[in-house]
Structure 1
Amino acid sequence: MYGIPDFSKTRLLVAGDVMLDRYWSGPTQRISPEAPVPVVRVGRDESRPGGAANVALNLAALGARASLLGVVGRDSPAASLAALLRLHAIEPDWVESPRLPTITKLRVLSRNQQVIRLDFEESYASQGAFDRAKLIERFTIGMADAQVAVLSDYAKGTLIDVAALIAQCQALKKPVVIDPKGNDFTRYRGATVLTPNLGELEAIVGACPDDATLIGKGARLINDLHLEALLVTRSEKGMTLLRPGKPPLHLPTEAREVFDVTGAGDTVVAALAAGLAAGQDLGDAVRLANVAAGIVVAKLGTATASRAELELALHRPAAGEESLLTEEQLLAKLATARSRGNTIVMTNGVFDLLHVGHVRYLEAARQRGDLLIVAVNEDDSVRRLKGPTRPVNSCADRMRVLGALKCVDYVVPFAEDTPERLIGRVLPDLLVKGGDYKPEQIAGYAAVKANGGDVVVLDFHEGYSTTSMLGRGAANP
C-alpha cells in the first residue's frame, strides 16, 4: 500500500494563470420584483487564491514548499492575492501587466449553491500585455532550486511561451507537469505529464466512448507529443494513467459525494507533482492525487486537500480510532445519524494540550445532544493563529487524544483559521463554544441559525489554558 511521503523537503515552481476567487454569500428569501431572479442578502465576502495560485496553495497544504510565478495587474486584487498567499508561506513572483487587470472571478452563493458567477478579465495573450521575456527569465531562475515544475494553464495567456518553459525543464532534466487547456496540445510537446480531463482530451483526439478507444487515442497522443505519461481525469469514472510500455492504470473515484468540482484539477496536478518531487513512483503519485481529488470535490469552492485529510482518507482505523474522520466521511455518518433522529452537537478548537478544563467543557457539550463533533484546527492554522512555536502536538495526535474521550463521538480536521465553512456543511442542531463570547460572534452562527439550529456559549472553566500550562512549564524546566 502506498503512503504519504515527506513533502517538507520538496521544492516546486508553479507558473501559470493566477486569479482571485471571490465569494459573496448569504440567504435567499424572496424573488426580485424587478426580474425573476433570487435576491441574495450578502452577509459574507470571502477571497481565495484561484487558478495557478490554488495549485500553489494545494502544495502548501501538503507541506511542500512552493514558489509561484504569474501575471497580475497593478491593482488591489493583486495585493489581496499576494496577502492571501503569504498567509500560507507562499511568496508570489509577479510579472505586472501595465494595462490589464488581475483576473478575478466573483461567485454569488446562497444555501451553498452558486447563483451567478461574474468574471473580470482580459487575455494576457494580447500584444504588449506583459513582459514575456521577463517571465521566461524568472522561470529560469526559479527552476534552479525547484525539483519539479507545474504549469497551470487556464488559457488566459500567461503561458503563451509554454514551449520555452518546457525546454528549460528539459535542459535541466527536471519533470514538468502540465494542466492543459485549449484545442492545440502540440504546444505542450516534450512535457513529462499532461493532466487533461476527459472533455479536454476529446476536444483534441475525438470522442472516447470506452476504455479501449481512450487507451488507443491516448497512446497516439503520447507518441505524437513525446510525453512520458498522460493522466486523464474522468469525473465519476475516476482517472486513467497511460504510459508507454506499461498497462493502463484505471483508478475509480474516491469521492462518495461530489459537492463542487471547482479547482479539483488544481489538486490533482499539485498532488501528482508533489509526489514526483518527493521521489514517488508515478503510479503511486497518481493514486495519491486520486485520493486528494476525492477530498476536495466534497468541499465548496476552490479548496485544498491537507496532509491530515489524506492521512485520514488512507488510514484504516485501529480499535479506538473509528471516530477520526475526514469531512466527507463525517457527512456520510451524519446522514445516517439524522435518519435516526439524533441531535447533533458541534464545537471546535485547537486542543493542543488537553486539560481538565477541556474535558469538563466537552462533557457538558455532549450532554446537550446525541452526538458530539469536535472540529480541530490543522497545524498550519494553529501556527497562523498562535505563532510559530505552536502547536506542541500535531493535528493527528490531538485528534487521537480527543477521539479517545468517551464524550466525543467524531473528530474532524479543518484547514482554515475558522471552521465557518465546515459548520456550514455540517449544520449541527446545536453549535457550542466555551468562553465569554456572544453567540452571534461565534463562527458559523448565521448558517446554524438560518437552518433552524441554536448556538450556545458554555461556561468557561477558570484556571485552565494551554498557554498558562506552557508558561508554567517554561518557568519550571
Structure 2
Amino acid sequence: MSIRLPDFTRATVLVAGDVMLDRYWFGLTSRISPEAPVPVVRINREEARPGGGANVALNVSSLGARTHLLGVVGRDDSAQQLASRCEALGVQPHFVLSEQSPTITKLRVLSRNQQLIRLDFEEIQGERVSFDRLDLLERYMPLLEACGVVVLSDYGKGTLFDVADLIGFARDRGRPVLIDPKGTDWRPYRGATLLTPNLSELEAVVGSCRDEADLVQRAERLREDLQLQALLVTRSERGVSLIAAGQPPLHLPSHAREVYDVTGAGDTVIATLAAALAAGSTLEDACRLGNQAAGIVVGKLGTATVSREELEQSLNPGAGSGVLDEDALLLAVQRARAAGQRIVMTNGVFDVLHVGHLRYLQAARELGDLLIVAVNDDDSVRRLKGPSRPLNAVPERMEMLAGLRCVDYVTAFGEDTPARLIGRVLPDLLVKGGDYRPEQIAGYEAVTANGGEVRVLDFHDGYSTTGLIEKARG
C-alpha cells in the first residue's frame, strides 16, 4: 500500500512528560583493569542528546512539525544543556524547575559501538512531588490551545503525576492524546486517544498472549475498559498491531533492515504518529508511518531521530530520495548535528561502482552516524578525466550511491574540488582514500579549523575504475 507523506509543517504537537539528558562517552578499550575484571576505556569523545520526552519532541521536530516540550528539570548544567539542544532543533522548551531534584541524566559508556555500562543520575518523584504542580498545569493549558495533538511521555519519573487531569483537559478541547504507558496500572490513562505499549508491557497488564488472535482479543477488552480509541502494540521483529474501535485489527510487518540499537524506538513511533495525525493523516496511515520510522531508527546508535528525508527514502527506496541538492543537504546536516549525530563526508567521481568503492564507503560509514558522499558533476569529470568520461551521467551515479545501505545522502558539486561544499557542510570527519597526506585533501583547512578531523583511508588493492574500463575495452 502506497503512503503519501503529509505536510508536517502544518502540524503543531505538544509533548509533556519526563525529560532527561542522555550523555555518551566513547572510547577505545584494549585491556582489562588490574583492579577488577572490567575493561579499561580511554575516553576520546563525548556527546549529549535530549532523552525521554525530549527525544520524543526531537523526533516530532525532525519531521518538520512545530513542537513544544513541557517537563521538569533541576537547577543545574544538565538542564541548560538540555534546553540548548532542544532549541537548536526548533523544539521550544517550557521547563518547570525543581529545587530539590536534579535533571534526570543517563550516562552511557561505549567502546567499538558496544555499550559497556549505563549510569543513571536521578531522583524519582514518586508520591513526594518536588515541583510546583500548579505551575505545570498553568503552562499546560495555553500550550494545549496552540497544538493539534498531545503526547504524554511517561517514563515513570513523576512528572505526569496528574495525568488524568491532563487527559481530561485535552479531551474537553478535542485534542487527541497519545501515551506510551509505563507500569502495570493503566487506569490513570483512561480516556486517552491511543496507547503505544510494546508487547511485553501489554502482557504485563493483560496476561500472556498465545497468538495474534489472543493478542487482539485481550487488547480489545483492555481498550474498551479504558475507553480508548485505539491501542498500537509494537512487537519488535514482528512489527506492530493496531487495535482500534470500529475497524478490524491491522498487523504491519517490521521494516527494519538491520537492528542495531532499539533505544528510543518507542519514542520514534509515538512521535511520528503524533506528527502525522496533527498534519491530517488518518490513524491507519499514521501507524504505517510510525512503523516505517521505527524500522529506520533501530539501525542507529542510541537515542536518535528520523528526518522527513529518511522517511521518504524508506517509503520510496527506488526514488533516489537520498539524493539531495545543496540546500536540502545543509538542512539535513543541521538536523543531524542538533540530534548529536557524528557526520562523515567523502567525495569522488564514482563513475563505475565496484567492490573497492563499496568496501571504502562501508569503512567510512562505520566511523560515524551519517555518511555524505559528494560527487563530481559531468563537466567536472570531463575536466579531470578527459572528454570520454564519465561513462555514467551524474544522476545515475548519484542514484547508485544512494541505493547503498552505508550511504545516507548524496549531492553533486561542479567545481574541480569539493572545498567550497565541504566548507559549508563542515563534517565532523572528512575521509579520502589513497596515499594523500591529510593536509593535501580538499577541505582540510575548513574542517580542522572547525574542530573536525581529516583521515586517509586505505584503498583496496586490485580495484580501480580506470582498470575496469581498460579491461572492458579489450
TM-score, shorter chain, exceeding 0.5: yes
The equivalent of 1:461 in structure 2 is: none
Cα distance change on mapping 1:214 and 1:180 into 2, 3 Å? same
CA distance in 2 between counterparts of 1:441 and 1:175 reads 48
CA distance in 1 between counterparts of 2:26 and 2:102 reads 24
Written as runs of structure 1 = structure 2, the 5 A alignment for 1:135-214 is 135-214=136-215
TM-score (norm 2): 0.76
State the Cα deviation string for residues 307-350 of structure 1 (Å, max 9, x = none): 000111111425xx4985999xxxxxxxxx99889542559769
Cα distance change on mapping 1:363 and 1:246 into 2, 3 Å? farther
What amino acid is the match of 1:168?
F
State the Cα deviation string for residues 337-380 of structure 1 (Å, max 9, x = none): 9988954255976979x87897689989xx9xxxxxxxxxxxxx
Written as runs of structure 1 = structure 2, the 5 A alignment for 1:410-425 is 410=402, 412-413=408-409, 420=428
Cα distance change on mapping 1:90 and 1:407 into 2, 3 Å? closer
- Pairwise CA RMSD of aligned residues? 3.5
The equivalent of 2:471 in structure 1 is: none
CA distance in 1 between counterparts of 2:398 and 2:303 reads 35
Q: Is the 8 A contact 2:372 2:409 kept in 1?
A: no
Number of residues paired by the alignment? 398
What amino acid is the match of 1:229?
A
Written as runs of structure 1 = structure 2, the 5 A alignment for 1:203-352 is 203-317=204-318, 321=320, 324=323, 343-345=359-361
SS of 2:233's equivalent in the other structure is: strand
The equivalent of 1:122 in structure 2 is: 123
CA distance in 2 between counterparts of 1:75 and 1:174 reads 33
The equivalent of 2:416 in structure 1 is: none
In structure 1, runs of 5+ residues without a counterpart are 328-336, 368-400, 455-477
Residue 174 of structure 1: how far off its partner (Å):
1.0
State the Cα deviation string for residues 35-89 of structure 1 (Å, max 9, x = none): 1111111000100000000011001110000000000000000000001011011
State the Cα deviation string for residues 92-122 of structure 1 (Å, max 9, x = none): 1011101100000000000011010000001
What amino acid is the match of 2:298?
V
- Are 2:401 and 1:409 equivalent residues in the alignment? yes
What amino acid is the match of 1:412?
D
What amino acid is the match of 2:92?
E
SS of 1:144's equivalent in the other structure is: helix
Cα distance change on mapping 1:168 and 1:14 into 2, 3 Å? same
SS of 2:85's equivalent in the other structure is: helix
Q: Is the 8 A contact 2:11 2:278 kept in 1?
A: yes
Cα distance change on mapping 1:43 and 1:402 into 2, 3 Å? farther
TM-score (norm 1): 0.75
Cα distance change on mapping 1:218 and 1:407 into 2, 3 Å? closer
Cα distance change on mapping 1:356 and 1:153 into 2, 3 Å? same
Cα distance change on mapping 1:402 and 1:72 into 2, 3 Å? farther
SS of 1:26's equivalent in the other structure is: strand
Cα distance change on mapping 1:67 and 1:439 into 2, 3 Å? closer
CA distance in 2 between counterparts of 1:64 and 1:323 reads 21
SS of 1:173's equivalent in the other structure is: coil
Cα distance change on mapping 1:341 and 1:408 into 2, 3 Å? closer
- Are 2:70 and 1:69 equivalent residues in the alignment? yes
SS of 1:5's equivalent in the other structure is: coil
Residue 209 of structure 1: how far off its partner (Å):
2.7
Q: Is the 8 A contact 1:26 1:42 kept in 2?
A: yes
The equivalent of 1:435 in structure 2 is: 443
SS of 2:61's equivalent in the other structure is: helix
The equivalent of 2:35 in structure 1 is: 34
In structure 2, runs of 5+ residues without a counterpart are 325-331, 337-352, 366-370, 411-424, 460-474
SS of 1:223's equivalent in the other structure is: helix
CA distance in 2 between counterparts of 1:339 and 1:258 reads 24
SS of 1:434's equivalent in the other structure is: coil
CA distance in 2 between counterparts of 1:290 and 1:403 reads 30
Cα distance change on mapping 1:338 and 1:441 into 2, 3 Å? farther
Q: Is the 8 A contact 1:363 1:407 kept in 2?
A: no
Residue 124 of structure 1: how far off its partner (Å):
2.2
Residue 436 of structure 1: how far off its partner (Å):
3.7
CA distance in 2 between counterparts of 1:282 and 1:112 reads 36
Cα distance change on mapping 1:167 and 1:209 into 2, 3 Å? same
Cα distance change on mapping 1:340 and 1:89 into 2, 3 Å? closer
**Which deviates more from structure 2 when the two are superposed, residues 289-298 or residues 203-212?**
203-212
**Percent identity, aligned pairs only?**
52
SS of 2:203's equivalent in the other structure is: helix
Q: Is the 8 A contact 1:13 1:146 kept in 2?
A: yes
